[in-house]
Amino acid sequence: MTLSPRTRTLLSVLSLLLALGLGGLLTLRAQAQAATVRRPVPLRPIAPGEILRAEDLGWAEFPAAAAAGTVADPRALAGRMARTLLRPGVPVAPEMVGEPDAGLPPGWGEVALKLPQEAALGGGLREGDRVFVLDVPRQGEARWHGPFVVRAVEGRDEPILRLIGPGEAVRDLAEAVARGRAGERILHLVRLPEGGAP
């Protein structure tokens, strides 16, 4: 059966409209998946133990998936104490900050460390335990951090450990934790007998 030129033109126009409609729908879907959100971020490095001030915070946009689980309201950060190294321009997860704490020995700090259950000694940690952290970079040599004292263990499936120790050791571990979040390092805990060292 032969189609008239008018029918062929009409079918061509309909095909073109259908293709444009499908293209538009695919574009809208891609835009929805690439949606961004604004998050408060530090404007400078914030060391563990420092209190965040409103002037330390700015705004940045991130893909919604990358910013999932991070703090959205800057009022939830101002006046809080950094528990780990906060990097400029990086959104802040709730476990990275806490209430100001004056109960640490002078020169000591605290760092929050989130580990899978198996890397956290199978849930056998208790407050007061002395631990070392094995820092295994993707490239280069492994390094020990510590000793630290377990201040608190929060959560079950992926425990958040609050470790305290001398300020310099806390800063080094906080940097390793930040690099671990970026996938550059793998961290494991080792609990040793009193006085032991790796």
Picking from 21, 75, 32, the residue whose alpha carbon sits closest to that of residue 53 is 75
Picking from 164, 161, 143, the residue whose alpha carbon sits closest to that of residue 152 is 161
Average pLDDT over residues 55-65: 92
pLDDT in tens, 13-41: 777 777 777 777 666 666 555 688 999 99
pLDDT in tens, 85-99: 888 999 998 878 887
pLDDT greater than 80 at residue 12? no
* Whole-angstrom distance, CA of residue 186 vs CA of residue 13: 58
This prediction has a pTM of 0.53
Q: How many percent of the chain have pLDDT more than 70? A: 83
> What pLDDT band is residue 159 in, cutting at 50, 70 and 90?
confident
Which residues are within 8 A (CB) of 168 and not within 5 positions of it... i.e. 6 or more apart? none
